[in-house]
Amino acid sequence: MLTERTMGSLRPRYLTLAAADLAGAVTIVALLRPEIQFAYRAPSLHVMIETFAAMAALIAAYLVYHRFRHSRSASDLVLLAALAFLTVTKVVVPLSAGRVVQNTDRFAAWAALVSSVIAGVLLAAAAFVPERRLRRPVLSAQILFAGLFAVAFIVALILMDLSNRLPLGLNPSTTNASFPHFGASPSVIAMEIAGMLFYGVAAIGFTRRAEWTGDEFTTWLAASAALACFARLNYLFFPSLYIEWLYPADILRLGAYLLILAGATREIARYRRGLSTAAILDERRRIARDLHDGLAQELAFIVTKTRSLAEGLIEPERRELGRLTAAAERALDESRRAITALYAPVDESLEAAVVQTVEEVANRVGTKAEIEIDPDITLESGSKEALLRVVREAVTNASRHGGASSVRVQLLNGDGIRLIVSDNGSGFDPAALDSGGYGLTTMSERIRALGGELNVASRPAIGTRIEVVLP
């Protein structure tokens, strides 16, 4: 089953085969061209490759960690363990080798070899572990990582005890490195063969899984495992663990980590696109909901009342005409608010949004506005939109119903976020208003939905003060 997450029309098996073909070609060239050495003395380049490998594994581990938090699947957990194990060993072993043993080179070389084989085991397991959702993911992760720590600790103790007797294989400085050699220690050869087999199994498993799920990151993992498999094969041609030397197999291993990094980069880009798409869909749903609750309701009221007037079911009294006018004005305000929201920049600050809203309404209704805003206040999009709707409604009402010549809008951050809209209009008696008068009920409901409260203080001929408090 392939999805759009697969790399366009490129099936996972083709990328894996391409990686294997490339590695195979490098291997054949190294075998057939006698001028190509199997070892080059380059300590700094070797360190650079190991550093890059650690960084690539770290980035991929971070990505898989977030995948595991979302999926809680056993396969992602084992994959996370493999990448984390690679990262930690590549950082810890070089830093600690000189402090725990005298024979640093032998211990570091064998620690790197054994950790690579263990990572291959984990990758092969991750490729075939069912993608079932774990019931207790945190406990499972704790058990797995505790087990890995125990294994690493035991392996480190064994290597420390054997550090003076650990074989390093062929010495490039005394052995002709222009053709394959297979006369190294059987233990070195056995570890290289084990690594080759485990990475080969991982490549097959990840390819199968990517073919079925269409997961692009798994596709890159499959190709990376294929390169790692051929890297272990190349190490067999000149089995040497002298870490200050660079081998053609190291280039293949670098390619494997480059593929992991490429897959992680594309996965992160895909995740960001998904977040952007989700944000757009959420904003569309919010606008649709607001249009339904606001503009559509007002238009429905206008249609009902005008039909009744046209059919003579109600008398064209001043009160009814006033309600129709008010509904039409609210519908117009709702449409303007929706247009403003659609044109507003995605990263517009709350301060800029409030200033724009107040100035737009004040200029339209002919009211002087005074604005005081704490620039450090931030709100999530839903709370921000609700607050802007209250500001719009309050400033509109101040002029339209109160006849105010001046409105003061304050947004303060103290004991909670406080919005205060006060005017010098004619004021009113809140207790004498019909239910929902001046949209106060709607404003109050919006604020209560956010866990806040809205208070109105007004008296005839005194003016009106609306205060909103958000936690």
- pLDDT at 2 > cutoff 50: no
- Range 395-424 average pLDDT: 84
- Range 195-212 average pLDDT: 93
CATH topology of domain 348-471: Heat Shock Protein 90 (3.30.565)
State the pLDDT confidence band at 3, using cuts at 50, 70 and 90.
Answer: very low
- Are the beta carbons of 273 and 73 closer than 8 angstroms? no
Q: Within 13 A of 352's CA, how many CA atoms are on the CB side? A: 8
Checking 15-20 for CB contacts under 8 A at 24+ apart, the result is 15/219, 15/220, 15/222, 15/223, 16/203, 16/206, 16/207, 16/219, 16/222, 16/223, 16/226, 18/223, 19/223, 19/224, 19/226, 19/227, 19/255, 19/259, 20/203, 20/226, 20/227, 20/229, 20/230
pLDDT digits over 296-309, tens only? Answer: 767 777 777 787 77
- pLDDT at 115 > cutoff 70: yes
* The predicted structure's pLDDT at residue 108: 84
- pLDDT at 71 > cutoff 60: yes
State the pLDDT confidence band at 98, using cuts at 50, 70 and 90.
Answer: low
State the pLDDT confidence band at 80, using cuts at 50, 70 and 90.
Answer: very high
- Looking up tokens 């119903």 gives 401
- pLDDT at 221 > cutoff 90: yes
- pLDDT at 128 > cutoff 90: yes
Residue whose C-alpha is closest to residue 233's, from 30, 14, 42: 30
Residues 6+ apart with CB under 8 A from 16: 203, 206, 207, 219, 222, 223, 226
* The predicted structure's pLDDT at residue 437: 53
- Are the beta carbons of 214 and 9 closer than 8 angstroms? no
- Range 70-87 average pLDDT: 90
* The predicted structure's pLDDT at residue 150: 92
- Range 399-419 average pLDDT: 84
Q: What percent of the chain shows pLDDT beyond 90?
A: 15
Highest average pLDDT, of 108-122, 171-185, 318-332, comes from 108-122
* The predicted structure's pLDDT at residue 290: 67
* The predicted structure's pLDDT at residue 5: 44
Please state, in angstroms and rounded to a whole number, the distance separating the CA atoms of residues 75 and 128. 8
Whole-prediction pTM value? 0.63
Please state, in angstroms and rounded to a whole number, the distance separating the CA atoms of residues 244 and 119. 22
State the pLDDT confidence band at 265, using cuts at 50, 70 and 90.
Answer: confident
State the pLDDT confidence band at 352, using cuts at 50, 70 and 90.
Answer: confident
State the pLDDT confidence band at 375, using cuts at 50, 70 and 90.
Answer: confident
The chain-wide mean pLDDT, for the chain, equals 82
* The predicted structure's pLDDT at residue 6: 44
- pLDDT at 121 > cutoff 90: yes
Question: How would you class 326 by CB atoms within 10 Å of its CB: exposed for 0-12, middle for 13-18, buried for 19 or more?
Answer: middle
State the pLDDT confidence band at 194, using cuts at 50, 70 and 90.
Answer: very high
Higher pLDDT, 148 or 276: 148
